[in-house]
Amino acid sequence: MATVQAGTELQQAIALLKKKNWVDLTHTFGPNSPHFAAFDDAEFKTLFTHDDGFFSQRFTFPGQYGTHIDAPIHFVQDQRYLEELELKELVLPLVVIDKSKEALENNDFTLSKEDILAFEAINGEIEAGTFVALRTDWSKRWPDKTAFENKDEAGNSHLPGWGIDALRFLFEERNVNAVGHETFDTDSSINVRKNGSLIGEYYVLEQDTYQIELLTNLDKVPTKGAYIFNIVAKPEKATGFPVRSFAILP
């Protein structure tokens, strides 16, 4: 009887979730998609066609390609690989901080602690255990490489991102679980040049957690109330991998 009841509860829960609005937060990517400058373009090769009896392909790309997840080991030695992340870590309440207007007006926009406090003054304190996403609408430039990289005449990119003070506030004072954004890197491009490294990205992964990069459709998700699911393959000893992220709305 208990087994039947448990099955019924699970069926009801799934049925309820399927009635909700689901939003895909993942870019479709291919050989011509924007990517981190140090990487080569992805390669998709057909191995067999239907004339051979079945259609099969080979995909060659770095783990950090398309909408992807970074495991802690990506930047920090002796931290966890992708396969070591627990399933329940990949499903979290979602908070979206909308700075799309600011990023449009200033492509070098860098989120600060003061920006988060201003956000909380309107939307309430960010709860512990959440996934916080920075919305800049940079994803709307996808899949145009030139627009996405946004380089000036000197060849320097101008992309928005997180400030280290904002990240420290979220993890140390609000105890969030993970973060995500729409650009290649955690740090804004101007901060990378100023600091000489990706100090924000290192800091996030140093917390023994993950982040999701190159998110999209954050403009279709409410500020609070949704849940994010980050579904990913399980390659051995991987530092990251393309992910299928989506949100279920309240």
3-state DSSP assignment of residue 24: strand
Report which residue type is found at 131. Answer: F
φ, ψ dihedrals at 22, nearest 5°: -105, 130
Q: Which of 27, 35, 68, 74 is catalytic?
A: 74
Is 74 annotated in the active site?
yes
On the CB side of 171, CA atoms within 13 Å amount to: 21
Instruction: Please enumerate in sequence order all residues whose Cβ is within 8 A of that of 236, keeping only pairs 6 or more positions apart, or say none.
Output: 83
Distance between CA atoms of residues 54 and 23, nearest Å: 32
The CB density around residue 61, as the number of other CB atoms within 10 Å, is: 21
Q: How far is CA 207 from CA 37, 66, 76, 162, 210, in A?
A: 26, 23, 9, 16, 8
For residues 200 and 163, the answer to whether their CB atoms sit within 8 Å is yes
3-state DSSP assignment of residue 132: strand
Distance between CA atoms of residues 188 and 156, nearest Å: 12
What element of type H or E holds 23? strand 22-24
Q: Among candidates 221, 244, 4, which has minimal Cα distance to 100?
A: 221
- Positions marked catalytic: 74
